[in-house]
Amino acid sequence: MTGHRKTLLLTGASGVLGRALIDALSDEHNIVCLRHRKHIADPRVAEFTGSLDGPSLGLTSGESTRLARQVDLVLHAAATTSWKASPEDIRRTNLEGTRAVVAFSETARVPLYYVSTAFVANPPTPMGGRCTGVMAYIDSKIEAEQLVRAADIPSVIIRPSVIVGDSRNGHMAKFQGLHRIAGMIARGQIPLIACDRGALTDTVPQDVVATAIAQLIRDNVRQGEFWFTAAESAMTAGDVVDCSVELGCRLGLDPQPPRFLPAETVDRLLVPLLEETSTPDMRQMFAELLEFTSLFQLPGALPTSLPEMGLGDQMTRRRLCETFDLSLDYWARCKGLRELSETREASEVTS
């Protein structure tokens, strides 16, 4: 190490939040990234091959000992967030992976910062055998938090809501399920949404989450549980649909806005009908939609710690809608839809 710079072990550097964390932390820390398959390919970090699936982070005894002597703190942001994975795979990565990170942190005698999810506050209820992915994900996070709290080291639990793109440009390294649903709405592929139009849809920009985590580390906060959410300022399901429809219009797709129906009505009446009359693709689409909207069947706003950290002014409903628009535009460019629209517009002008 040089000077007062501490060495930080980061997991999940290639995930949804990873690049933003490197941006927020690299000026003040030597960052060492644990990678499994995908290279981080960032000159600001050192990386080594390991795994959360086995003991000692997939390292040899000698490698683990050397790394434990080197690091000053651990930031565990790796997780399986795809609900299409099997419940067993979700549990293995999110729970057993956290167990391995806790054991390493205890060996190194360094504080652990663990990225969980704000939706542990309101786990969805089972719906006729559906929503197994989201339930497995949240259950794995609840159990992983228990491991972190029981660890014999200082620990901080961080609970962001749904992470969207950077508030300045919409960029993000990996898209979320919300982008997929918004894209389907933009294409006119979703006829209905299984929740109230006013249901709070809590999102948080990735740069705000990364800034808040960096602030906790910079301030040497070594215990506590922090909620990084929009709380009462969250977008509504109606905002999400409106932004998605507007994206579709900008792309020249002319989508029809979906109808809002109570989730109970959809589950009790429509899903059985679809199972008898619709195609497998249609059934799969509705299953994914029900699974995602189950997160937002909240009795009230999620808690938040951002105002007390001086970041509340970045979480107004207007700014969150603007960020979501930017994030959708970036998603459209990455999918080639924006370029297709611009090519079509140029053709119409010259014809």
Q: Which of 81-95, 218-232, 303-317 has the lowest mean pLDDT?
A: 81-95
The answer as to whether 222 is a domain residue is: no
The answer as to whether 77 is a domain residue is: yes
d(CA 60, CA 54): 11
pLDDT score at 123: 78
| Per-residue pLDDT reduced to its tens digit, 28-86 | 999 999 887 778 889 999 998 888 877 788 888 888 999 999 999 999 999 887 767 78
d(CA 157, CA 148): 8
d(CA 279, CA 130): 17
- Residue 121, CB half-sphere, CA atoms under 13 Å: how many? 24
DSSP track, 291-349: HHHGGG--SSPPP--TGGGT-GGG--HHHHHHHHHHHHHHHHHHTTHHHHHHHHHHHHH
d(CA 245, CA 185): 6
d(CA 326, CA 307): 23
pTM for the structure as a whole: 0.90
| 72 or 135, higher pLDDT | 72
The answer as to whether 5 is a domain residue is: yes
Range of the domain at 114: 1-160
| Per-residue pLDDT reduced to its tens digit, 156-208 | 999 999 999 999 999 998 898 899 899 999 999 888 888 889 999 999 999 99
Structure tokens at 236: 């509504």
In this structure, what CATH number is given to the domain that contains residue 70? 3.40.50.720
pLDDT score at 331: 95
| Per-residue pLDDT reduced to its tens digit, 223-235 | 999 999 999 999 9
Domain count, the chain: 1
pLDDT score at 278: 67
The residue count of the chain comes to 351
The answer as to whether 73 is a domain residue is: yes
Phi, psi of 198 (to 5 degrees): -90, 5
d(CA 53, CA 98): 10
The answer as to whether 260 is a domain residue is: no
d(CA 83, CA 89): 10
| 277 or 290, higher pLDDT | 290
Q: Which of 12-21, 82-91, 295-304 has the lowest mean pLDDT?
A: 82-91
DSSP track, 182-240: HHHHHTT---EESS-TT-EE-EEEHHHHHHHHHHHHHTT--EEEEEES-GGGPEEHHHH
